[in-house]
Structure 1
Amino acid sequence: MQNIINLMNGLHIYIIIGLIIIIIILFIMNLVILKSLNRLEKRYRKFMRGSNNKNLEEFIIGYLDSIDNVKNQYEDIRNLYKELNSKVSCCIQKISVIRYRAFEDVGSDLSFSIALLDEKNDGVIITGIYGRDESTTYAKPIDSGLSRYGLSQEEQQVLEDCINKRI
């Protein structure tokens, strides 16, 4: 132990000089770090300031509020779409018309059959028969593409044309 103390007494100048050099190096490193930190802080403040002196947090909160509003509008539109889609499926979507001559003694094709069907092929066939002395119009209901009443050749043709139409 005494040897170590004697060795240190002889080298204490060198130890002090070494410690001073280490302190100077640490001081220089501290200055470099502070300068770097100062530049980083300036960049951070500039970044957080954003535009129109609003900071980034206000921008993000504003955009998140906008996203919430869009989600609510999306849900409203989605519900409206479902409602409209269910209503449209029951509307007339396919139409077919055929004109023909019902009687040989009547000129022109003044008789007609019209098929009006929805998405499920439910609807009606309206037929108008024109003759010299009288004209008759009648309707036949259609359920799933079938009629419970007998169909004439023209009515069957207009029904098939209407069923085969694309929506």
Structure 2
Amino acid sequence: MKNVIDIINSFQGYVIIGLLVFSVILFIILMITLKSLSNLENKYRKLMRGVDNKNLEELIIGYLDKIDESREENERMKELCEDLNLKLKSCVQKVSIVRYRAFEDVGSDLSFSIALLDQNNDGVILTGIYGRNESTTYAKPIDRGISRYDLSQEEKNVLQDCLGRDA
């Protein structure tokens, strides 16, 4: 043990100089680390300040609120679309018309039959018969593509043409 103490005492000056150099190196590393930390902190503060001096957290929360509002509006739009689709099923979606000459003594195709049907093939056939002395209009209801009333050949043709159309 005495030998170790004698060796340390003989190299005491070198040990102190080595420790001083080591301390200076550690101090330089500490200063570099503090400078890097300061730069990083400045960048972090700029990032957290965000746009218009708003906090980044406030911006993110604002955007999340907007996303929630968009989702709610999207749900309302889906409900509205579903309601519109239900209403559209009962709207006129298929139309067919035929013009013809009902009487030989009338010069042009002035008589007509029009079929107006919805998606379920419910609707009406309107027929206008034009003659020299009078004009008559008929309406015949259609239920699932079938009429409870007798149809003329022109009305049958216009109904078949209308039934053949896609909604």
TM-score w.r.t. length of structure 1: 0.87
Task: Give the aligned length.
Answer: 167
Name the SS for the 1:104 alignment partner. coil
User: How far 1:134 moved relative to its partner?
Assistant: 4.4
Report the counterpart of residue 28 of structure 2 in structure 1. 28
User: How far 1:63 moved relative to its partner?
Assistant: 1.5
Letter in structure 2 aligned against 1:121 = N
Task: Supply the distance in 1 between the matched residues of 2:157 and 2:116 (Cα, whole angstroms).
Answer: 13
Letter in structure 1 aligned against 2:41 = E
Letter in structure 1 aligned against 2:128 = G
Letter in structure 2 aligned against 1:84 = L
How high is the sequence identity, in percent, across the aligned residues?
Answer: 61
Task: Supply the distance in 1 between the matched residues of 2:144 and 2:91 (Cα, whole angstroms).
Answer: 14
Q: What do residues 70-119 of structure 1 show as CA deviations (whole Å, max 9, x unaligned)?
A: 22211112111111110111111121111111122333222211100112
Letter in structure 1 aligned against 2:129 = I
Report the counterpart of residue 80 of structure 2 in structure 1. 80
User: How far 1:147 moved relative to its partner?
Assistant: 3.0
Task: Supply the distance in 2 between the matched residues of 1:17 and 1:143 (Cα, whole angstroms).
Answer: 109
Report the counterpart of residue 11 of structure 2 in structure 1. 11
Report the counterpart of residue 140 of structure 1 in structure 2. 140
User: How far 1:35 moved relative to its partner?
Assistant: 0.8
Could you say what the CA RMSD is over the residues aligned between the two structures, in angstroms? 2.0
User: How far 1:29 moved relative to its partner?
Assistant: 0.3
Deviating more after overlay: 68-77 vs 28-37: 68-77
TM-score w.r.t. length of structure 2: 0.87
User: How far 1:133 moved relative to its partner?
Assistant: 4.8
Runs of 4+ in structure 1 off by over 4 angstroms are: none
Point out where structure 2 has 5 or more consecutive residues left out of the alignment: none
Letter in structure 2 aligned against 1:152 = S
Task: Supply the distance in 1 between the matched residues of 2:148 and 2:4 (Cα, whole angstroms).
Answer: 120
Letter in structure 1 aligned against 2:21 = I
Alignment of 1:12-161 (within 5 A): 12-161=12-161
Letter in structure 1 aligned against 2:106 = V
Letter in structure 2 aligned against 1:42 = N
